[in-house]
Amino acid sequence: MKLTPYGGIDEIGGNCFLFEAENANVLFDFGRSFKNEGIYYAGFLLPRTSQGLTDFLEFNIIPKINGLYADDFDVNFPGDRKRIQGCFLSHAHMDHYGNINLLSEDIPVYMGETAKIILTSVQETSRPRFGRPYIRPPSEKRPSNVRTFRTGDTIQISGLTITPVHVDHSIPGAYAFILEDRKEDLVIGYSGDVRLHGWRQDLTADFIRIAKEKGVQILLMEGTNIDEDFDQNEPQVQQDVSESIQNTKGLAIANYTLRDIDRFRSFYIAAVENSRKLLINLKQAHLLKLLQRDINLDIPSIDDPSIEVYQRPKGRYYRWEQEIIQDPEIHIINDPGFEHQKYIFHCDFWNLTDLIDIQPKNATYFYSHGDPFSEEGIIDYNRMMEWVKAFKFDFRQFHASGHAPRKDLQHIVEEIAPEILIPIHSENPEKYKEIVDIPLILPSRGHSINLSQ
Ligand SMILES: [Zn+2]
Ligand SMILES: [Zn+2]
């Protein structure tokens, strides 16, 4: 068994791991690498999509593998065409799924049912790169590119067994994988993105237990927060927000990630506890409506009396927006003069201009993200703080990361106790040496390692 990491090494995200066994090749995640893209492109200097993959391949932003890309991109590299029997998606974050719409039509993409719902909402409410969908509907000529799984399923591919196991992360439907090569008697674990401090830490506990039972020998383990020690957890975020709203006279404004359904739940509970309503935007309403099909998620329903939807004024609405606005189950607010003291208003960075219409007084602004770290992130943050100053908001920051802190990473690895650890999805992978006494392999991007004993 050979492993070649094409992304997710010395960076947070951009995961792309190719496993080559005797009779099968599989890819784990195919995400966009914001780090590698950002070295060459930003702002108005963007890779041209009119030139196919040229502007991405020039700087090795995406890997040069024959057989990986859709035929109409018409790219050819030295060497034989590789047959990849499946791409396994851990969860619906861009740094894991962002390039799956470039894949060859012959490569099925395996993902959790929830991830499929989220990506359906993403592609219906925004335009994917190259205008190519992530989820291709079946046509007369070929089936859909997507095959879904749930925890408890196993997928057999020419001598390989892949077992997806749910984990807790800042988006629903996140999975880790256990890959078994029966011929070589080799068991490999892949954490995806993981934490133990969300509303559903029991899911990650299941992964730890199943990885132990299966005897994972080599563990590819994320290390986003390998350098961080914190105790914030999601239930604490909910309590802090709720307490703080008790002292808010006017509007409570919540800036949180649209697809972080755990955080949505925290603000929803805070709304109910304070006899307020959570006022979400059309995009989040679209996602919630689709997610309701997933009975295992148990999320508040779109017609819940504590949820209403804000229709920002504009000239023309997309069809998906019109469908939400006209949905009889959904309570729409289109007058910015609503009773501010009765609402928590979800307002992310891109919707700040809504506040010009709403003109909140005595409002509290809940910034529910981590501190910015990228250059652009810091510029955006400073700009947002100017809005906070101009409107004289009371500013609060409550957040719990989507990723486990150092002590939990240590716990997960020590419990699974692999023979070899391969740190991924981290800017400081070598720091694992400080917390676990397990031999590390620190691979480099594009270089293969032999995993056979
Ligand atoms: Zn990630
Ligand atoms: Zn993630």
Over residues 267-278, the pLDDT tens digits come to 999 999 999 999
The number of helix segments (H) and strand segments (E) in the chain equals: 13, 20
What is d(CA 30, CA 89) in angstroms, rounded to the nearest whole number? Answer: 7
Start-end of CATH 3.60.15.10 domains in the chain: 2-228+403-450
Q: What separation in Å is there between the alpha carbon of 163 and the centre of ligand 2?
A: 19
Q: Which ligand has an atom closest to residue 15 CA?
A: 1
Phi, psi of 413 (to 5 degrees): -65, -45
What is d(CA 346, CA 309) in angstroms, rounded to the nearest whole number? Answer: 10
Start-end of CATH 3.40.50.10710 domains in the chain: 234-397
Which neighbouring-strand residues pair with 236?
Answer: none
What is d(CA 387, CA 62) in angstroms, rounded to the nearest whole number? Answer: 38
Q: Which ligand has an atom closest to residue 402 CA?
A: 2
What is d(CA 337, CA 358) in angstroms, rounded to the nearest whole number? Answer: 6
Q: Which ligand has an atom closest to residue 12 CA?
A: 1
Query: Which residues keep their CB under 5 angstroms from ion ligand 1?
Result: 13, 95, 193
Over residues 99-143, the pLDDT tens digits come to 999 999 999 999 999 999 999 999 999 999 999 999 999 988 889
Q: What separation in Å is there between the alpha carbon of 251 and the centre of ligand 2?
A: 31
Q: What separation in Å is there between the alpha carbon of 248 and the centre of ligand 2?
A: 32
What is d(CA 112, CA 165) in angstroms, rounded to the nearest whole number? Answer: 10
Q: Which ligand has an atom closest to residue 194 CA?
A: 2
Question: 155 in helix, strand or coil?
Answer: strand
Q: What separation in Å is there between the alpha carbon of 403 and the centre of ligand 2?
A: 8
Q: Which CATH number fits domain 2-228+403-450: 3.40.50.300, 3.20.20.140, 3.60.15.10, 3.90.1150.10?
A: 3.60.15.10
What is d(CA 146, CA 406) in angstroms, rounded to the nearest whole number? Answer: 35
pLDDT of residue 374: 83
What is the Cα gyration radius of the chain? Answer: 22
Strand order, beta sheet including 186-190: 155-157, 160-167, 174-181, 186-190, 218-222, 420-424
Q: What separation in Å is there between the alpha carbon of 342 and the centre of ligand 2?
A: 33
- Please name the amino acid found at residue 277: K
* Residue 209 pLDDT class (50, 70, 90 cuts): very high
DSSP 8-state secondary structure symbol assigned to residue 98: T
Q: What separation in Å is there between the alpha carbon of 192 and the centre of ligand 1?
A: 7
Q: What separation in Å is there between the alpha carbon of 90 and the centre of ligand 1?
A: 9
| pLDDT (mean) for 43-60 | 95
DSSP 8-state secondary structure symbol assigned to residue 11: S
Query: 0.75 exceeded by the pTM?
Result: yes
Q: Which ligand has an atom closest to residue 167 CA?
A: 2
Q: What is the CATH number of domain 234-397?
A: 3.40.50.10710
